[in-house]
């Protein structure tokens, strides 16, 4: 695939992911009559189902990372050239903000408005560490053992992670930045974003090291064998 196609794929895919996450969050909160569990059920169901579609749509073009730490982990494993990392991350972030704006347009909000949703403290950061560790673990494991099921495994993981982590599992720096621009159900205060992103990078690093050891790649050197 040409580089232009791959970057459009990452940008458009990340935009659609954010439209799903933020849009379904707004809809869920509007309809749920104050019951946050029902809202999160809808948000998790929509995000999981949306991810199945999006990863199947864009996976064969660009890998369907939609996530800077996934791109960094793939580059570390030499699954993509290092010089593509920066362009990938740029279009992911650009796409993420576009997706938030698209969702806000559908629900008659301003294109961007800073979130006031407080999300910080050790328990939240530990949640993001665990969430991102698991996400990278799923991706490496499935890619190396049975790649055809990866879209379903990732979507299932994120659906679960919305519920089993206290942070509802952002697990993605581009998503975190863009959700800081949405004062809705899915938002996060801009000031809280850096803590989330640091925890995500640490979780992704740990998972990459552990799972490259657990699943040694056939054709190249890996850390521990």
Ranges within 134-173 binding a second copy (CB under 8 A): 134, 137-138, 141-142, 145-146, 149, 151-157, 159-160, 162-167
In 3D, which of 25, 3, 181, 162 has the Cα closest to residue 98? 181
Question: Using CB under 8 A, which of 10, 40, 180, 188 touches a second copy?
Answer: 40
- 101 makes contact with a second copy (CB under 8 A): no
Shorter beta-carbon distance to a second copy: residue 57 or 85: 57
Compute the distance between CA of residue 28 and CA of residue 149 in angstroms, rounded to an integer.
29
In 3D, which of 128, 108, 129, 101 has the Cα closest to residue 14? 101
Q: Which stretch binds a second copy (CB under 8 A): 27-35, 84-92, 110-118, 171-179?
A: 27-35
- 223 makes contact with a second copy (CB under 8 A): no
Instruction: Identify residues 170-209 at the interface with a second copy (CB under 8 A).
Output: none
Quickly tell me which residue has 């699943």 as its tokens.
215
Smallest distance from a second copy to CB 151, Å: 8
Q: Is the distance from CB of 43 to CB of 23 less than 8 angstroms?
A: no
Smallest distance from a second copy to CB 216, Å: 9
Q: Is the distance from CB of 176 to CB of 189 less than 8 angstroms?
A: no
- 23 makes contact with a second copy (CB under 8 A): yes
In 3D, which of 42, 45, 23 has the Cα closest to residue 184? 23
């Amino acid at each position: 695939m040409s580089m232009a196609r791959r970057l459009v794929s990452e940008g458009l895919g990340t935009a659609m992911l954010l439209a799903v996450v933020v849009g379904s969050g707004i809809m869920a909160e509007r309809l749920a009559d104050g019951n946050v569990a029902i809202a999160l059920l809808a948000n998790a169901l929509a995000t999981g189902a949306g991810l199945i579609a999006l990863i199947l749509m864009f996976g064969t073009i660009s890998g369907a990372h939609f996530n800077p730490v996934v791109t960094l982990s793939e580059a570390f494993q030499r699954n993509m050239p290092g010089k593509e990392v920066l362009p990938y991350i740029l279009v992911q972030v650009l796409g993420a903000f576009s997706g938030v704006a698209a969702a806000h347009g559908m629900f008659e909000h301003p294109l961007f408005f800073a979130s006031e949703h407080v999300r910080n403290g050790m328990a939240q950061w530990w949640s993001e560490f665990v969430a991102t560790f698991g996400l990278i673990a799923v991706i490496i494991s499935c890619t190396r053992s049975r790649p055809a099921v990866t879209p379903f495994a990732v979507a299932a993981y994120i659906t679960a992670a919305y519920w089993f982590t206290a942070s509802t599992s952002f697990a993605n720096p581009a998503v975190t930045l863009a959700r800081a621009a949405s004062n809705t159900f899915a938002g996060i205060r801009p000031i809280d974003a850096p803590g989330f992103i640091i925890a995500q990078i640490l979780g992704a690093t740990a998972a990459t090291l552990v799972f490259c050891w657990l699943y040694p790649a056939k054709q190249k050197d890996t850390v521990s064998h």
